[in-house]
């Protein structure tokens, strides 16, 4: 049986120490360092609906609670609802005794066959829009609690600011020296206006905070007298899908507005340059800037591994891929003070040269190994920008993991603005630490 090696078996060590596959890290060409998801700052560029691809600015999305007004999810199976039309015979509005047919629209799910008519939602006369969101019965209480705690947070913030300012100088000293009021001094200091204690007391008196109690309402008699129909009871997933209502029965399931998705850009935390920036158009999958590591860093893959035995020399065949349009020179180095879980290995000596990437060579079966002086004991094959090589290791633990340092040159093409003198490309030598998971040993012999 052929063993398949996953891409997660080859891990690149980021500058922060985390181990990630090459498909999940970025390469900052300004810092010449690897950056993982924890080493970049995430910025929201735009909001859009994944169903109708409607673009929405961030302020508008915030007002609409990051929900699309035209698209809904099924409350039963959580799939997207579609709009269906039906002809209904209605009286003629022009006082004509004739009956005319009129189109009405309703929501239906193509997976579980749930419809908006099941819960008594009236049909609409238009295909898009007009579906009103069900109002939360506790919305007034929630808004009162949010306003109360917002006042508390503001009061605590003002007290902290007052303590910091009192350590340096007091408002009384400034007002006496320059004849300014306390509100003017706060405005000059860039602080928000103080909230009067009377307003705080008035708002806090209007709100009654909930108190914990041991009294529990008894169950209705229907739970004991009537038989249980599981088809009419909602599941835990359906209840959590509507946290504002948490319906106990399927007859109370209402469609939920689809949440907006975002297009985000990643920025390096060190030099603050963009590493990834998508297009604003929701239907576009292109990027304005895309500095993913597999576009700039040589990729290492596992091709084959011999049977692994404890304390016995084994051989591994790897594949190197050059993604850049420039030749790559690669050397291998041992890790200084390696961890105990790493098995000792014999790295390929000398330098390996990878040909530049050529999209037309992907359809050519002719190898170009004659142009390179490769050691047949190390290099197993060469095709286009790919190269296979062998190395040996001696497993010392049950889970075989090897590690080494990969050093290669990177040609940084400096972008110049129109009218500037073109600058020569910069050649930078970069070293990465790699860890490879080869599997588990078979036995001692």
Residues 357, 385 contacting (CB under 8 angstroms): yes
DSSP string of 309-362, one letter each residue? BTTS-EEEEEEEE--SSS-EEEEEEPPSS--TTBPPEEPPPS-EEEPPP-GGGG
Element (H, E) at 339: none
Q: How confident is the model at residue 212 (pLDDT cuts 50, 70, 90)?
A: confident
Residues 12, 34 contacting (CB under 8 angstroms): yes
Q: 423 or 232: which carries more pLDDT confidence?
A: 232
Q: How confident is the model at residue 357 (pLDDT cuts 50, 70, 90)?
A: confident
Element (H, E) at 139: helix 139-168
pLDDT at 2: 44
Q: 195 or 347: which carries more pLDDT confidence?
A: 347
Residues 414, 426 contacting (CB under 8 angstroms): yes
Residues 101, 107 contacting (CB under 8 angstroms): no
Q: What is the pLDDT of residues 151-197, one digit of tens each?
A: 888 888 888 877 776 655 554 455 544 445 556 555 555 555 554 54
pLDDT at 203: 55
| pTM exceeding the 0.85 threshold for the entire prediction | no
Mean pLDDT for the stretch of residues 210-219: 81
């Amino acid at each position: 049986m052929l063993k398949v090696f996953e891409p997660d078996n080859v891990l690149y060590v980021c500058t922060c120490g985390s181990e990630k596959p090459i498909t999940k890290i970025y390469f900052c060409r300004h810092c010449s360092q690897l950056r993982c998801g924890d080493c970049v700052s995430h910025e929201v560029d735009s909001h859009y609906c994944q169903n109708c691809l409607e673009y929405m600015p961030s302020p508008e999305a915030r007002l609409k609670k990051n929900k699309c007004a035209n698209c809904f999810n099924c409350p039963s199976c959580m799939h997207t609802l579609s709009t269906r039309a039906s002809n209904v015979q209605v009286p003629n509005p022009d006082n004509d005794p004739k009956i005319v047919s009129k189109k009405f629209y309703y929501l239906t799910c193509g997976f579980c066959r749930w419809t908006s008519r099941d819960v008594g939602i009236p049909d609409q006369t238009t295909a898009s829009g007009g579906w009103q969101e069900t109002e939360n019965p506790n919305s007034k209480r929630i808004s009162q609690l949010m306003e109360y705690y917002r006042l508390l947070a503001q009061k605590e913030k003002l007290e902290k600011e007052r303590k910091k300012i009192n350590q340096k100088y007091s408002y009384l000293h400034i007002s006496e020296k320059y004849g300014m009021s306390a509100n003017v001094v706060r405005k000059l200091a860039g602080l928000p206006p103080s909230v009067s204690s009377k307003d705080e007391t008035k708002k806090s008196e209007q709100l009654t905070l909930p108190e914990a109690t041991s009294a529990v309402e008894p169950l209705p008699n229907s739970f004991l007298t009537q038989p249980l129909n599981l088809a009419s009871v909602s599941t835990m997933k359906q209840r959590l899908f509507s946290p504002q209502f948490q319906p106990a029965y399927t007859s109370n399931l209402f469609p939920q507005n689809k949440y907006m998705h975002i297009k985000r850009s990643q920025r390096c935390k060190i030099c603050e340059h963009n590493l990834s920036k998508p297009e604003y158009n929701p239907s576009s999958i292109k990027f304005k800037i895309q500095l993913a590591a597999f576009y700039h860093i040589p990729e290492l893959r596992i091709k084959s591994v011999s049977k692994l035995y404890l304390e016995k020399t084994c051989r591994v065949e790897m594949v190197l891929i050059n993604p850049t349009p420039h030749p790559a020179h690669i050397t291998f180095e041992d890790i200084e003070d390696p961890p105990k879980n790493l098995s000792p290995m014999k790295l390929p000596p000398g330098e390996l040269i990878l040909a530049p990437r050529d999209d037309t060579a992907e359809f050519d079966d002719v190898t170009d190994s004659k142009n390179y002086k490769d050691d047949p004991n190390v290099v197993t094959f060469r095709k286009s920008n790919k190269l296979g090589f062998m190395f040996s290791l001696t497993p010392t633990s049950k889970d075989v993991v090897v590690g080494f340092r990969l050093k290669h040159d990177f040609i940084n093409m400096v972008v110049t603005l129109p009218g500037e003198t073109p600058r020569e490309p910069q050649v930078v030598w970069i070293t990465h630490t790699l860890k490879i998971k080869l599997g588990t040993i078979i036995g001692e012999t």
